[in-house]
């Protein structure tokens, strides 16, 4: 792995664990095994490195979600696969957590990958709901964009509930509830 990749990977992990303020250049260097000169050779500073790390995290998250959402099967099955995907629930979402970080939200360069990823996810789920409506799998009543927003909110809120309870059960319960509501809109 290149020094640049080690720096990005270390920053990804630290941002998820500690947030932006808690991710110091010294901690990044220690975790990556890279020196200060190497860090500043590849990146102009912490904001530039954090932006690269967030972009990579966003790409990875979109790839994992797409593996479920773009797989064969009915629209319901693909959405269910995404919602039920194996996750480290107690750690939370590496992108969703950044949406709660005031330093990330305040910086357009840092916020962009977070916003783009959540927009992409809502859009992709809305496409599946619309596809299900077009094929007669879902009733025409639920608005695809509203349904997608609710499903993304269930996942993100489920992480928060799980972390607050120090248990994956609230997340699992939220997913089961969301799937029950979605199933209620399946055509007979």
Domain ranges for the chain, please list them. Answer: 55-183
Average pLDDT, consecutive stretches of 10 residues, N- to C-terminus, the chain (188 residues): 93 94 93 90 92 97 97 97 96 94 95 97 98 95 95 98 97 98 89
What is the pTM assigned to this prediction?
0.92
pLDDT reported for residue 36: 86
C-alpha angle 165-170-173 in degrees, rounded to nearest 5: 170
Token pair recorded at residue 65: 């979600």
CATH class held by domain 55-183: mainly alpha
Tens of pLDDT, residues 31-58? 999 988 888 899 999 999 999 999 999 9
């Amino acid at each position: 792995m290149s020094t640049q990749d080690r720096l990005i990977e270390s920053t990804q992990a630290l941002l998820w664990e500690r947030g932006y303020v808690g991710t110091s250049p010294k901690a990044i260097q220690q975790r990556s095994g890279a020196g200060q000169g190497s860090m500043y050779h590849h990146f102009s500073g912490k904001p530039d490195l954090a932006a690269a790390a967030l972009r990579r995290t966003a790409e990875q998250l979109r790839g994992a979600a797409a593996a479920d959402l773009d797989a064969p099967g009915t629209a319901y099955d693909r959405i269910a696969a995404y919602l039920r995907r194996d996750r480290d629930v107690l750690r939370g979402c590496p992108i969703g957590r950044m949406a709660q970080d005031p330093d990330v939200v305040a910086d357009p360069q840092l916020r962009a990958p977070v916003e783009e990823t959540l927009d992409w996810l809502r859009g992709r789920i809305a496409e599946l709901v619309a596809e299900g409506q077009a094929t007669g799998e879902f009733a025409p009543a639920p608005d695809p964009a509203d349904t997608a927003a609710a499903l993304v909110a269930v996942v993100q809120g489920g992480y928060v509930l799980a972390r607050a309870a120090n248990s994956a059960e609230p997340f699992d319960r939220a997913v089961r509830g969301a799937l029950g509501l979605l199933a209620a809109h399946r055509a007979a």
